Amino acid sequence: MKIKPVIIVPLAFILLFGLFAGLILFVGSKSSGNKGFSRTDKIGVIEVIGPITQSKQIIADLKSFERNTKVKAVVLRVDSPGGGVGPSQEIYAAVKALKNKPVIVSMGSVAASGGYYIAAPATHIFANPGTITGSIGVIMEFPDIAALLEKIGLHRRVIKSGTFKDIGSPVRDMTSEEQALLQGVIDDVYAQFVAAVAIGRDLEPAVVRKLADGRIFSGSQAKEAGLVDELGGLQVAIEYAARRVGIDGDPEVIYPEPERVSLLDLFLQHTTSSLQQYLHQAESAQLHMLWKANN
C-alpha cells in the first residue's frame, strides 16, 4: 500500500521537530551547570561583577534560590568597585531579606564602596588577603568648564523655575548655597551607609564612622577592622557554606539559569551594557557608592 504524500510530509515534519527538540534538550542539559534533575542539596552561587548599575537580575536570582528547596545556602561572589546608590541599597535589602538561608559573601579582587555595601548584611564575609575593600562613603562629581567657555566666548542663558533647578551646571561656578544643599544630601546618604554597615556587621556606628572616611583596606586589614570575617577565596567560601548547612563532602554548586538568547540579542545586550557602563561613569550628577582607583 502506498503512503500518500499528504501523510508523509506531516510525519516527516513531526520527526524532524522531535529530533530538533531532543537535540536542544540534550545540549541544554550538557551546557547547564545547574543539574536540574539532581536530588542532592546544593550551594547556589550568584556573581556581582563590575559596576553596580542595576539590581533587577541579582534580586531575581536571590529570589529564585530562596524558592529552590534544594539550595541550602547562597554564596554571593562580589567583584565590584560599587556603583549607583539606589541599586546597591536594593541588593542590600534583598540580601538582608533572604529567609532561612545563610548568605556567604566571597570578595574577589575588589569589593569596595557599593560592592562592600551589598556584602555588609551577609551571614559571613570572606575576602582574599589582597582584596581591595572598604571605601565606605558617597561621592558626587561635577565637571567645570566655565573657564574654557569664557576663553572661547561662549555663553549660555538659562531660564529656570527655581533657584536650584540647574544645580551642578558645568558652565558656571557653584554657589555656596548649592554646595551646602548637595553636601546635605551627601551627608544624609553617608549616614545611611554607616547605619547599614553598623547593622550588618553588628558594630557601633561610632566605630564604623572611624573606618568610613573613604579609605580602602586590603582584605587582611579589613579582617582586623571587623569588616570581614575570614580570609579565603571562592572555594573556601563555598566549603564553609556547605559545612554551615550540614552538607558533607564536596557540595554541588549551581549558578542561576542563564537566559536563552539569540546571537543578535546577545550582541545587543553586550552593546547596551557597555553603553550603560560608559554613561554611568560619564554622568557625574548622580550619587555614587563607587571606588575610583584613578582619583
Q: Provide mean pLDDT across the span 75-102.
A: 96
Q: What is the pLDDT of residue 278?
A: 52
Per-residue pLDDT tens digits for 218-263: 999 999 999 999 999 999 999 999 999 999 989 999 999 876 655 6
Q: What is the pLDDT of residue 37?
A: 46
Tell me: pLDDT of 25 over 60. Answer: no
Q: Give the confidence band of 32 by pLDDT, cuts at 50, 70, 90.
A: very low
Q: What is the pLDDT of residue 163?
A: 93
Q: What is the pLDDT of residue 291?
A: 75
Q: Provide mean pLDDT across the span 183-207.
A: 97
The CATH number of 39-290 is 3.90.226.10
Max mean pLDDT among 7-21, 76-90, 152-166, 261-275 falls in 76-90
Tell me: pLDDT of 172 over 80. Answer: yes
| Domain ranges for the chain | 39-290
Q: Provide mean pLDDT across the span 16-44.
A: 57
Q: What is the pLDDT of residue 94?
A: 97
Q: Provide mean pLDDT across the span 91-117.
A: 96
Q: What is the pLDDT of residue 284?
A: 47
Q: What is the pLDDT of residue 258?
A: 76
What is the CB neighbour count within 10 angstroms for residue 140?
Answer: 16
User: Quick check: 244 and 73 in contact, CB under 8 A?
Assistant: yes
Mean pLDDT of the chain: 85
Catalytic residues: 113, 165
Q: What is the pLDDT of residue 34?
A: 47
